[in-house]
């Protein structure tokens, strides 16, 4: 069985989505990048669509916010397929989440920092 292709999202520095070392720069609008990052920071967690919509479009009526969310998720799926990539979303009627294995550089950095031993500095 072949190894699955690894996805990596770069949040520290310039936003970039990498797949097997290939970087997709400017994956869309800033709102699309932020939505993708938001979902990536809660990997394998089903997020209520209502909550995500309210976070991203707080000034809109809930029905408009949900439509905006659906539209932006559709655009993200389209952008993934544009590069020949399978969109890593698992969506239910009331939830959305990233379903593929997606590493995030901010999480990697946090894990490194948790494991780091800090030596006291002598003056």
Asked if the model's pLDDT at residue 2 lies above 60, the reply is: no
At 65, the pLDDT band (50, 70, 90 cuts) reads very high
Neighbouring CB atoms inside 10 A of 108's CB total: 13
Distances (CA, A) of 61 to 57, 64, 88: 8, 5, 28
pLDDT of residue 1: 43
Residue 13, sorted as left (phi over 0), alpha (psi -120 to 50) or beta, turns out to be: left
pTM: 0.74
pLDDT of residue 123: 61
pLDDT in tens, 93-104: 888 887 666 778
């Amino acid at each position: 069985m072949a190894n699955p292709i690894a996805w990596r999202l770069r949040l520290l520095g310039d936003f970039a989505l990498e797949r097997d070392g290939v970087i997709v720069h400017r994956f869309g609008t800033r709102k699309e990048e932020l939505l993708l990052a938001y979902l990536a920071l809660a990997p394998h967690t089903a997020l209520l669509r209502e909550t995500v919509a309210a976070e991203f479009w707080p000034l809109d009526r809930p029905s408009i916010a949900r439509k905006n969310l659906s539209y932006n998720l559709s655009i993200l799926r389209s952008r993934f397929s544009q590069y020949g990539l399978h969109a890593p979303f698992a969506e239910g009627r009331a939830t959305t989440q990233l379903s593929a294995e997606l590493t995030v550089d901010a999480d990697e950095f946090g894990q490194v920092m948790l494991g780091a031993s800090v030596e006291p500095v002598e003056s």
